[in-house]
Amino acid sequence: MATVQAQAAGKTTWLVLMGISLCHMLNDVMQSLLAAIYPLLRAEFALDFWQIGLMTFAFQVTASLLQPVVGLVTDRHPQPMSLPVGMAMSLGGLVLLATADSYALLLAGAMMIGLGSAVFHPEASRVARMASGGRFGTAQSLFQVGGNFGTAIGPLLAAFIVVPLGRPSIAWFSIMALVGILVLSQVGAWYGRWTRANAGRAAASRSLPLPRRRVIGAIAVLALLVFSKNTYTASISSYYTFFLIERFDLTTQQSQMMLFLFLGAMAAGVMLGGPLGDRFGTLGVIWFSILGVLPFTLLLPHADLFWTGVLSVVIGVILSSAFPAIVVFAQELVPGRVGLIAGIFFGFAFGMGGIAAAVLGVLADLRGIDFVYALCAWMPALGLLTILLPRRREMMGAF
């Protein structure tokens, strides 16, 4: 506990947090381009919905299988310079997407971007906690909002650059990756100095605050909550443009601007969720976010175009506010294993969302896009599982 208290009393290193957030944005811009260009790829390569779902599966599951492993390894052996390496892998995937002449190469590009995420997220999340000065929720929000903002602007960049100029223009975004590699090299150097400066400090206690079975159960519940969130998010990021085009006869550019509304709202929700968790407690934020969004998701499949836009914003803000709180709650449940927790929640749970995207693609081919959204509207009902999580007084009573 002394180490935690010393860390909490430390100074928040805002420059490092801003650098990590910026690179998270650049990383996720590259990732979001994949989903944003699905209509273009479907037309160019004559893809079915199940093939679109398989591309999301290839990206997310590649990341999910490796992120917990990367996090577990780096918890024991920190790798400061792995951050620019992860960005370089995403760069390779971007180039493949721009130049691929077959569906197999498109899948390979999606997997390369997944590999980049697997390497980037665990160590970047650790750096955010190191630089937090004890403001763990705020640091996670700032780190994550970069990713959400990158995910949000990806469709706009696709709409106004890639769609008019064609798929090869994706290669222009390599400049972003090169900027990210440069910034992450500096962040990695700070990470190395921080590690050396704190080498003599007693290691953070890894004692569990609750019985092992209780901790495992709580982590499983948190993973299911993230799964419900990511399944719904996957239905939006992979198929929302098709839903809007089919239902409201929008153009590809118009549908991508609507997608931007949802993804931009998610960025705002992430930024709110961490500070609210620091101020009012993580459990309350989780309750409000996962279960509180249910009435709005149930309304969305039945709304007209105007209210579809309004509901997209409301859903995005509420649904995304839980994720920083979930990550911080999990880190408190399993102290001293920041990389592993980041790997589980940025990797495994996102990978499960990828599996869901593939299943939803099959359902969309069989039953139609409207059926998919009517089904996914019920996913936030899993928020009722929050009742199984330990209360703050239960965790504090263990010390």
The pLDDT, as a whole number, for residue 202 is: 54
Please say if the pLDDT value at position 172 is more than 90: no
Tell me what the mean pLDDT of segment 109-130 comes to: 86
The pLDDT, as a whole number, for residue 181 is: 93
Task: Indicate the pLDDT class of residue 183, thresholds 50, 70 and 90.
Answer: very high
The pLDDT, as a whole number, for residue 5 is: 37
The pLDDT, as a whole number, for residue 7 is: 41
From the number of C-beta atoms within 10 Å of its C-beta (0-12, 13-18, 19+), residue 9 rates as exposed
Which residue's entry shows tokens 């704190």?
A: 198
Tell me what the mean pLDDT of segment 161-179 comes to: 84
What is the per-residue pLDDT across 198-226, written as a single tens digit (0 to 9) for each? 766 655 566 777 888 888 898 889 888 88
Please say if the pLDDT value at position 152 is more than 90: no
In angstroms, the CA 329 to CA 289 distance is 14
In angstroms, the CA 208 to CA 216 distance is 10
Cα 156 to Cα 37, 39, 260, 265, distances in angstroms = 11, 14, 7, 14
Percent of the chain whose predicted confidence (pLDDT) is above 90? 9
The pLDDT, as a whole number, for residue 4 is: 37
For residues 90 and 102, is the Cβ–Cβ distance under 8 A?
A: no
Please say if the pLDDT value at position 375 is more than 90: no
Cα 358 to Cα 43, 109, 222, 259, 372, distances in angstroms = 19, 17, 22, 19, 12
Please say if the pLDDT value at position 392 is more than 80: no
Please say if the pLDDT value at position 350 is more than 80: no
Task: Indicate the pLDDT class of residue 377, thresholds 50, 70 and 90.
Answer: confident
Write the DSSP assignment of 128-184 as a string of letters: HHHTTTT-HHHHHHHHHHHHHHHHHHHHHHIIIIIHHH-GGGGGGGHHHHHHHHHHH
Task: Flag the least confident range among 2-6, 38-42, 340-344.
Answer: 2-6
The pLDDT, as a whole number, for residue 105 is: 92
Please say if the pLDDT value at position 187 is more than 80: yes
Q: Show the tokens assigned to 45.
A: 């390569």
The pLDDT, as a whole number, for residue 56 is: 78
For residues 256 and 156, is the Cβ–Cβ distance under 8 A?
A: yes
For residues 255 and 366, is the Cβ–Cβ distance under 8 A?
A: no
Task: Flag the least confident range among 38-42, 200-204, 388-392.
Answer: 200-204
For the structural domain made of 9-194+209-396, what CATH number should be given?
A: 1.20.1250.20
The neighbour count for residue 31, using CB atoms within 10 Å, is: 26
Please say if the pLDDT value at position 159 is more than 80: no
Q: Can you give the residue ranges of every domain in the chain?
A: 9-194+209-396
Of 32, 10, 33, 13, the residue nearest 21 (C-alpha):
13
Radius of gyration of the chain (CA): 20
What is the per-residue pLDDT across 234-289, written as a single tens digit (0 to 9) for each? 777 777 888 888 888 888 778 878 888 887 888 788 878 778 777 777 788 888 88
Task: Indicate the pLDDT class of residue 295, thresholds 50, 70 and 90.
Answer: very high
Q: Show the tokens assigned to 235.
A: 């239905």
Please say if the pLDDT value at position 319 is more than 80: yes
The DSSP secondary-structure symbol of 389 reads S
The H-assigned helical ranges of the chain are: 2-8, 14-36, 38-45, 49-76, 82-99, 103-130, 136-157, 163-165, 174-197, 212-248, 252-280, 282-292, 294-299, 305-320, 322-333, 338-342, 349-367, 369-376, 392-396
Please say if the pLDDT value at position 63 is more than 90: no
